[in-house]
Structure 1
Amino acid sequence: MFLNPAKLFFLTSLMLSTLIVMSSSSWFSAWIALEINLLSFIPLISNTSNVLSSEAALKYFLTQAMASAVLLLFILFNQMSINFMPFMTNPHYCNLLLSSPLLLKLGAAPFHFWFPSIMEGLDWFSCFILMTWQKIAPMIILFNILTMVSFFLMVMTSSVMVGSWGGLNQISLRKLMAYSSITHIGWMLAAMAYNINILVSLSSYMLYPNSSNNSCLLEKKSFPILKQMFFSSLNPTFSIIMFSGILSLGGLPPFLGFLPKWLVIQSLTYENPFLITMMVILTLMTLFFYMRLSFTAFLMFYPSNKWFIEWSNSAMLLIISSTIIFLLPVISIIPFNL
């Protein structure tokens, strides 16, 4: 990836396009940056030697192109204020129409139909980008136009529900991570709707556990199915670090994922107790299959004479990732003390 000049160019363009969206002051510049982001991500995930990768790239292009076309259409309606569409003069309805294609780009339920199938055909580095970096630009635009909280309440609930129920019967690790990402989208939208400081904390929560998880899984590409991990001779250090990241995604204390969810629970207890109760109950279902996966892997260690680490670049990456998992709960508190 990083030794290929073309891939490196598209990766740089991908990052710059997201930064352009974050600094845009007009709809047109934000839409152009989203298109650059799309055209930069397609070459990164396409691989002529892999049929699943080519299929995933085509699905991603069609879905994102449709969302971009719909977004551009609603932007034009909003700017022109067409006389035969009087409801467009209402800012709430206008923001509702503008939010729908952005939620489709984000992969939030009920617009999630494309996300698990595309994740299945990507390599782990592309999955990492799709679950983290690709969600920043639509999330920033959504935050700027968020007015109809009632519509976002439906999206939050459906995202947590779909992510929880969808991951229960999955044997593919990539699809399991996809439904986990859908669940976290619901939590991030809840944080965005009620408190921006929690959004900052949840952004780090989304990035680092997924980063450590996929850094580990990147080294073990031969494990696309969960059962293959259970009957394979995994290094104990590798298992501890990887499944600690998985438990962090589930929000189990004392890992990083517990603190942001606790902050969201505190914020929504007085705002909408029914919503947060439903989200907590549904998230416990995700924690169930996380713990089921982790317990089985922890108990099936292969015999070894000593605790050892092969000192290489990948081992150092695992150590740094595990350190971040346990230290970021302290870092996440900083925005609340400023």
Structure 2
Amino acid sequence: MNPYVLAILLSSLGLGTTLTFASSHWLLAWMGLEINTLAIAPLMAQHHHPRAVEATTKYFLTQATAAAMILFASTTNAWMTGEWSISNLSDPLASTMFVAALALKIGLAPVHFWMPEVLQGLDLLTGLILSTWQKLAPFALIIQTAHNINPLLLTLLGITSTLVGGWGGLNQTQLRKILAYSSIAHMGWMIIVIQYSPQLTLLALATYIIMTSATFLTLKMSLTTKISTLATTWSKNPMLASTTALVLLSLGGLPPLTGFMPKWMILQELTKQNLPIIATTMALTALISLYFYLRLCYAMTLTVSPNTTNSTTPWRTQTTQTSLPLALFIAATLGLLPVTPAILMLTT
């Protein structure tokens, strides 16, 4: 892609998200979401592959549907209350419609069906943008309006998403689909606690972005998109294979890795709110997700692909990919748990 066009598209992505962050008026927030959608569509279809074009079309249709629902919900709310302010979402019909639209935008279950299909059709870097940056603007709106939304609806969305995210990833062989289901499960963790502690939602979103970035950049570095090709990684780059196993365990939420921190604090908050059954359910659904992360670790580090030599490859074509972002994200994914006390001070 032409570098000037790429610069315009990436700056439009930044502009759309910033516009939604900064807006207190419904139409301005909606406009930011639309700029975001229109800016990422050419990035998704840049390879002109039928699969990429199909993914772009699916993504555009779902995002357009969600945007229309947001516009309808905000108009209904303005009609009922006489205000266009985001903080004043007092009409129950409008708030329910608004949550449904934003759930469709970020891929929460039960309106998640587009997410694995779209992510499977994209290259890894565009998939990374879709899984991380594109979640920021809708989450900003959900956090601003969470106090006006029915708590039961948010709890149901959260539990369904963690369950579907764990269940859906079990039988997959394509890594991008597994990461899509992983994203759905993580979104469920963020949504369940948003009504009690929005700071924990932001913490979970930040750690999710760090861990997912590390995973996508690792897959891009090793040029793998299927589980079957993961087994050859160790002979090409043993160090990367071992750190990737730890990154996947961090995504699953195992201590002493960074991914344990948000899950631990969210379960603690749910217990404080006298919701032990919901907290137990969330912990059990996390075990389902952990199974497919362990499956990836097993395929990557504990199995040897059929080959003639049992040593590491003595030669390897030099990669031109920059490895600094990957190194930074992996370090953050593996080692941020000790700063938990400082984060506890900030969130309480």
Q: Give, in whole Å, the separation in 1 of the partners of 2:186 and 2:243.
A: 21
Segment of structure 1 superposing worse, 324-333 or 126-135: 324-333
Which residues in structure 2 correspond to 1:34-53 (within 5 Å)?
A: 34-53=33-52
Q: Which amino acid in 1 is paired with 2:199?
A: N
Q: Which amino acid aligns with 1:10?
A: L
1:197-236 aligned within 5 A: 197-221=199-223, 223-231=224-232, 233-236=235-238
Q: Contact (CA 8 Å) 2:172, 2:178: kept in 1 or not? A: yes
For residue 153 of structure 1, what is the amino acid of its counterpart? T
Q: CA deviation at 1:15?
A: 1.4
Q: What amino acid does structure 1 have at the position aligned with 2:18?
A: L
Contact 2:243–2:330 (8 Å) recurs in 1: yes
Correspondences of 1:284-303 after superposition (within 5 Å): 284-300=287-303, 303=311
The change in CA–CA distance for 1:90 and 1:327 in structure 2 (over 3 A counts) is closer
Give yes or no for contact 2:193–2:201 (8 Å, CA) kept in 1. yes
1:24-62 alpha-carbon deviations (Å, 9 max, x no partner): 010010011111111111011112531111111111111
1:145–1:320 CA distance, 2 compared to 1 (3 A):
closer
Contact residue 198 and residue 263 of structure 1 kept, 8 A: yes
Partner residue in 2 for 1:153: 155
Q: Secondary structure at the match of 2:336?
A: helix
**Deviation digits for residues 262-311 of structure 1 (CA, Å, limit 9, x no counterpart):** 000110013211111111111101101111220231123651399x9x79
CA contact (8 A) 1:188 1:199 kept: yes
**What residue number does 2:244 align with?**
242
The amino acid across from 1:107 in the alignment is G
- Pairing 1:130-145 to 2, within 5 Å after superposition: 130-145=130-145
Aligned partners of 1:326, 1:81: CA distance in 2, in Å?
49
Distance 1:311 1:317, change over 3 A: farther
Offset at 1:313? 5.5
- Aligned counterpart, 1:85: none
Farther off after superposition, 203-212 or 292-301? 292-301
For residues 148-177 of structure 1, give each alpha carbon's deviation from its aligned partner in whole angstroms, at most 9, with x where no partner exists: 111111101110111011001001111000
The separation in 1 between residues aligned to 2:56 and 2:38, in whole angstroms, is: 11
Bigger mean CA offset, 114-123 vs 263-272:
263-272
Q: 1:177, 1:48 → 2: CA distance?
A: 21
Aligned-residue offset at 1:66? 1.1
Matches within 5 A, 1:256-335: 256-271=258-273, 272-300=275-303, 303-304=311-312, 314-331=322-339, 333-335=341-343
Give the structure-2-normalised TM-score.
0.88
- Structure-2 change in CA distance of 1:49 and 1:197 (3 Å): closer
The list of structure 1 runs, each at least 4 consecutive aligned residues, that deviate by more than 4 angstroms after superposition, is: 310-313
Match of 1:165 in 2: 167
* 1:106, distance to aligned residue in structure 2 (A): 1.0
CA distance in 2, matches of 1:333, 1:50: 48
The CA deviation string for residues 194-223 of structure 1, in whole angstroms up to 9 with x for no partner, is 1122123212211111111111111233x2
Q: Distance in 2 between matches of 1:265 and 1:205?
A: 16
Given the two structures, how large is their TM-score scaled by the length of structure 1? 0.91
Q: Residues 235, 305 of structure 1: CA spacing in aligned structure 2 closer, same or farther, 3 A cutoff?
A: closer
Q: Which piece of structure 1 moves more, 162-171 or 69-78?
A: 69-78
Q: Does 1:101 align with 2:104?
A: no
Q: Which residue of 2 aligns with 1:115?
A: 115
User: Aligned-pair distance for 1:93?
Assistant: 3.2
Q: Give the conservation status (yes or no) of the 8 Å contact 1:7–1:43.
A: no
Do the aligned partners of 1:124 and 1:218 also contact (CA within 8 Å) in 2?
A: yes
Structure-2 separation of matches of 1:312 and 1:115: 30
Conserved in 2, the CA contact under 8 Å of 1:31 and 1:68? Answer: yes
Residue 71 (structure 2) pairs with residue 72 (structure 1): yes
CA shift, 1:331, in A, is: 4.3
Residue in 2 that maps onto 1:336: 344
Distance 1:17 1:42 in 2: 13
The 1:279/1:141 distance shift into structure 2, 3 A limit, reads same
Separation in structure 1 between the aligned mates of residue 231 and residue 90 of structure 2, nearest angstrom: 55
Match of 1:7 in 2: 6
User: Secondary structure of the equivalent of 1:314?
Assistant: coil
**Residues 42, 13 of structure 1: alpha-carbon distance in 2 compared, 3 angstrom cutoff:** same
In the alignment, structure 2 segments of 5+ residues that lack a partner are 82-88, 305-309
Are the equivalent residues in 2 in contact too, given 1:238–1:318 (CA < 8 A)?
A: no
Distance 2:15 2:339 in 1: 26
CA contact (8 A) 1:201 1:332 kept: no
Identity score, percent:
33
Assess, with a 3 A threshold, how the Cα gap between structure 1 residues 257 and 18 changes in structure 2: closer, same or farther.
Answer: same
Contact 2:221 2:321 in 1 (8 A): no
